[in-house]
């Protein structure tokens, strides 16, 4: 009889344990809770905080589970989106995989520092006054889609973008730039002009050849996107936007041709001309 009672008690305890582990605190909860794990926090701290925020019923059950499955040292710091409708295994899986809340930031090709500032205003850790530092990085804020942690600061974001830029600027590209006697700054400035002026790779390569050729003979670039180039010879002092890889490569590998002029029609087509006379005729034909 005593043995049967003991077995019943064990079964009951196991049942309670499994219930605590696999059954959420609130089945139908729709509330999303941002839960933070700080660096250095162990399973005990995490369990106590989960209990305090009403995400689990009893903290020792959480510790028992993570120790049993051997992931107590794999719980990663960060901000997580949780709900009391989740059970302990679901939470632990998130913590172990590091599925922190991220903010997706897409920087399109040709975006300026001012436009990127607007994108970064959604981060609560970044003050508007800090964003002024982006102006000095115009041209090097590489266009791409990034995923940043919920509480990322500006330094973390800029480091990620800089690392991406450095990866894209391969050793081959850098060697080619150096062999041409050009600086990276010159390439990025040229690429920024191409990004704003042309639509596709072939057009960018041809226009790149024209603009570098004009620079060699001391002719004004006359690029519509920056009036300065009509009044002054040479490249602008700084990039006018943040060019993508296609524009950068086109600046490094220009297409040599007999063309000296080009214009863009209202429909977006680019017309190339060999002589000023041809160019003027094209202007009359397409821009009248």
**What pLDDT is stored for residue 114 in this prediction?**
97
Same domain, 230 and 151: no
Domain count within the chain: 3
- The number of angstroms, rounded, from the C-alpha of 17 to the middle of its chain's C-alpha atoms is 43
Same domain, 41 and 80: yes
**What pLDDT is stored for residue 8 in this prediction?**
63
269 lies in some domain? no
Residue by residue, DSSP assigns 217-283 as: HT-----TT-THHHHSSS--SS-SS---HHHHHHHHS----S--EEEE-TTS-EEEESSHHHHHHHH
Same domain, 111 and 138: yes
**What pLDDT is stored for residue 47 in this prediction?**
97
Q: Token pair 């062999």 is at which residue?
A: 179
29 lies in some domain? yes
CATH code: domain of residue 55: 3.30.1490.480
Total length of the chain: 288
**In terms of DSSP H, where are the helices of the chain?**
2-22, 43-52, 59-69, 88-97, 113-120, 154-168, 171-179, 184-197, 201-217, 228-231, 245-252, 276-287
Same domain, 231 and 195: yes
Same domain, 180 and 201: yes
97, 121, 150: which is the final residue of a domain? 97
Neighbours of 68 (CB within 10 A): 10
Per-residue pLDDT tens, the chain, 288 aa: give them. 677 676 767 676 677 778 889 899 998 898 999 999 999 999 999 999 999 999 999 999 999 999 999 999 999 999 999 999 999 999 999 999 999 999 999 999 999 999 999 999 999 889 999 999 999 999 999 999 999 988 899 999 999 999 999 999 999 999 999 999 999 999 999 999 999 999 999 999 999 999 999 999 999 999 999 999 999 999 999 999 999 999 999 999 999 999 999 999 988 899 999 999 999 999 999 887
Q: Give yes or no for a contact between 254 and 186, defined as CB atoms under 8 angstroms apart.
A: no
Q: Using CA atoms, how far apart are residues 162 and 17, in angstroms rounded to an integer?
A: 49
Same domain, 184 and 248: yes
Q: Give yes or no for a contact between 131 and 154, defined as CB atoms under 8 angstroms apart.
A: yes
Same domain, 29 and 91: yes
Predicted TM-score of the model (pTM) = 0.83
Q: Is 162 helix (H, G, I), strand (E, B) or coil?
A: helix
278 lies in some domain? no
74 lies in some domain? yes
**What pLDDT is stored for residue 183 in this prediction?**
98
Same domain, 200 and 227: yes
Inter-CA distances, 135 with 129, 212, 236, 271, Å: 12, 26, 15, 33
Same domain, 182 and 163: no
Question: Which residues constitute the domain of residue 144?
Answer: 102-168
Q: Give yes or no for a contact between 77 and 38, defined as CB atoms under 8 angstroms apart.
A: yes
């Amino acid at each position: 009889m005593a043995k049967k009672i003991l077995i019943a008690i064990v079964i009951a305890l196991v049942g309670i344990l499994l219930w605590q582990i696999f059954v959420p605190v609130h089945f139908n909860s729709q509330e999303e809770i941002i839960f933070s794990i700080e660096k250095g926090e162990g399973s005990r701290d995490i369990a106590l905080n989960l209990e305090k925020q009403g995400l689990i019923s009893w903290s020792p059950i959480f510790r028992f589970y993570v120790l049993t499955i051997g992931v107590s040292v794999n719980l990663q710091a960060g901000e997580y989106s949780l709900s009391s409708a989740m059970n302990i295994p679901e939470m632990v899986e998130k913590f172990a995989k590091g599925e922190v809340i991220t903010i997706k930031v897409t920087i399109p090709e040709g975006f300026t520092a001012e436009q990127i500032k607007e994108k970064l205003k959604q981060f609560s850790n970044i003050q508007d006054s800090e964003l002024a530092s982006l102006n000095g990085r115009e041209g090097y804020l590489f266009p791409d889609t990034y995923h940043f942690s919920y509480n990322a600061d500006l330094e973390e974001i800029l480091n990620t973008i800089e690392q991406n830029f450095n990866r894209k600027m391969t050793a081959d590209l850098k060697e080619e730039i150096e062999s041409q006697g050009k600086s990276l700054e010159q390439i990025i400035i040229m690429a920024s002009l191409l990004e704003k002026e042309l639509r596709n790779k072939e057009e960018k390569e041809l226009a790149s050849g024209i603009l570098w050729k004009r620079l060699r003979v001391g002719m004004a670039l006359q690029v519509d996107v920056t009036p300065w180039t009509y009044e002054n010879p040479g490249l602008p002092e700084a990039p006018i936007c943040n060019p993508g890889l296609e524009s950068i490569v086109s600046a490094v590998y220009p297409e040599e041709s007999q063309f000296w002029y080009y214009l863009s029609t209202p429909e977006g087509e680019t017309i190339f001309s060999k002589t000023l006379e041809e160019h003027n005729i094209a202007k009359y034909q397409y821009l009248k």
